Amino acid sequence: MSIENFIDKIQTQDFTNASPIFGELMSSKLADALDQAKIKIANEVFNAGDDDDEDEDLEELSDEEIDEILDDEDDEE
């Protein structure tokens, strides 16, 4: 069923046959809208907890700097 069929039925005032076409068209549009809403919610739920960006902010230390920090901690004990 297409919009063209629906319009043809309306133009010929065949409202009895236009009604099921309208229902199918609206069901299809509603299903598409629901699918989009589900995708949006799923993205918010599953991608909101990503903390990978925080790792990028951390400073990378060289092996020498790590050894120096560990040595300083040993000296304090």
52, part of any domain: no
Query: Which residue range(s) make up the domain with 35?
Result: 1-47
Average pLDDT over residues 11-40: 93
- Asked whether the beta carbons of 41 and 53 are under 8 A apart, the reply is no
Average pLDDT over residues 16-34: 93
Q: What is the pTM of this model?
A: 0.53
Compute and round to an integer the Cα radius of gyration of the chain: 31
The Cα–Cα gap between 11 and 18 comes to 10
- Per DSSP, which regions of the chain are E strands? none
Please state, as a whole number, how many other Cβ atoms lie within 10 Å of the Cβ of residue 21.
Answer: 20
34, part of any domain: yes
Structural domain total, the chain: 1
The 10s digit of each residue's pLDDT in 27-68 is 999 999 999 999 999 998 888 755 555 555 556 778 888 878
62, part of any domain: no
71, part of any domain: no
